[in-house]
Amino acid sequence: MTQKNCYILGIESSCDDTAAAVINNGEILSNVVATQAIHEQYGGVVPELASRAHQQNIVPVVHQALQKANIDKNQLSAIAFTRGPGLMGSLLVGTSFSKSLALGLGIPLIDVNHMQAHILAHFIKAEGQNAPNFPFLAMTISGGHTQIVKVTDYFEMEIIGQTIDDAVGEAFDKSAKILGLPYPGGPLVDKYAQKGNPKAFKFPKPKVNPMDFSFSGLKTSVLYFVEKEVAQNPDFISENIEDICASLQFTIVDYLMDKLKNAVKKTGIKEIAIGGGVSANSGIRNALKEAETKYGWKTHIPKFEFCTDNAAMIAIVGELKYKTQNFAENNVVASARMKF
Ligand code: KG4
Ligand code: ZN
C-alpha cells in the first residue's frame, strides 16, 4: 500500500470528548469532536456519565468523520485508537469499538498513547504548522497532565519534568470554580484575562525541583484570597473578575515559562513545542512567541483544533506507526495509567 491511498481512522475517547478523524498522507481529511456538555452542571468530569455519553456518541461521530472525509469504511487501511492514559470507562468504549471495527474490516489495529499524541500532533501537515526538528522539548499541558518531555525521535521520549500534584488545566479549572465560573473554566479565565490587569493581584509560585511543577497550593491561595476579599465586599468577584483572571493567568504562564527556561538550560535544546488543552491559552501562546526573539528559541504552537483533545492527533500517530507496521494485537487492553 502506498502512502497516497493509506487512510487511517483515529478514535479518541480518553476523557469527555468523543472524537474521530481520518488522515491521508499527513493531511487531516476530517476531524470531528462531540463535546459532552453533561459535565458542566457537576463542575468536572463524572467518569460514569462520560463513558455512557461515549457509547451514545461513538457511532455517529465515526460515521460523520468518514462522511466528511468522503471515504467509505472499506477504504480504511487501519484503525488507531487511544489506549491510555485516561479514564478507564471512557477508554474502554473507544478500545472495544476500535477492536471490533478493525476485526470486522480485517485491517490492522494501532494503539496510541494520548500524551505522545499531543506531542506528535505537530507532525500533522496543516497551514501554519511546521514540524519540529529532533531533538526538541515538548511541554504537554492539559487537564490531566503537565510534563516536559525530551523528544529525540517520534517514539523516543523521556519525561524530564512533571507535576507532583495537580495538572495545570486543573489549576485553571479549580480556580475558575472558586470564582463561580462553569466547567471547564480554563477558556473562560483566558477570555476574562485578556481584558484585565495581570499585575493587579499577586499569587505565589510554588517551589519544587527546577523542572517539576506543583499547582495545588495555587488553587488554595486563590480560595483564601477570594474568601478574604468577599468577606469585605460581597461583589468583589464580579467587580474584579477580569483583573483576578489576568493575575492568575499571568502567574501560571510565568511559572510554565520558568520551567521551560530551566529545561532549556539543563538540556541545551532550544526548540520547543507545546501540546494539550492549555496550549490553547492566549497567555502561553504569546509568551512562547515572545521567547523566539527574547531567548532565541524556535517555538511550535499547535493549531487550536489540535490543542484540546481531538482524534487528528491519534490519526497522525496511527500513520507514523503504520509506516513501520507497528500494530497492536487484537487482545490489546485499555490502560488508564499508560506510560510512554
Ligand atoms: O487536552 P485536554 O482537552 O484534555 C485533557 O487531556 O485533559 O485539556 C483540557 C484542559 C482543561 O483543563 C481546560 O480548562 C484547559 O485544557 N483549557 C484551557 C484553555 N482551553 C482549554 N486552559 C486555559 N486557557 C485556555 N484557553
Ligand atoms: Zn488531552
Distance between Cα 310 and ligand 1 center (Å): 12
pLDDT band at 43 (very low <50, low <70, confident <90, very high): confident
Three-state secondary structure call for residue 17:
strand
Q: Is the CB of 172 under 6 A from ligand 1?
A: yes
Closest atom of ligand 1 to CA, residue 170: 12
Q: What is the rounded CA–CA span in Å between residue 340 and residue 337?
A: 10
Q: Is the CB of 15 under 6 A from ligand 1?
A: yes
| List of residues 6+ apart from 286 with CB closer than 8 A | none
Closest atom of ligand 1 to CA, residue 283: 24
Closest atom of ligand 1 to CA, residue 176: 14
Q: What is the pTM of this model?
A: 0.94
Instruction: Compute how many other C-beta atoms are within 10 angstroms of the C-beta atom of residue 51.
Output: 19
Whole-Å CA distances, 77 to 23, 97, 154, 176: 10, 16, 21, 43
Mean pLDDT on 84-112 = 98
Grid cell, residue 113, equals 498513547
Kind and range of the H or E element at 230? helix 216-232
pLDDT at res. 1: 54
Structure letter (DSSP) for residue 328: B
| List of residues 6+ apart from 268 with CB closer than 8 A | none
Tens digit of each residue's pLDDT (9 = 90 or more) over 283-332: 999 999 999 999 999 999 999 999 999 999 999 999 999 999 999 998 99
pLDDT band at 340 (very low <50, low <70, confident <90, very high): confident
Of all residues in the chain, the percent with pLDDT exceeding 90 is: 91
| List of residues 6+ apart from 176 with CB closer than 8 A | 182, 183, 184, 185, 186, 188, 189
pLDDT at res. 37: 86
Residues paired with 11 in a beta bridge: 20, 81
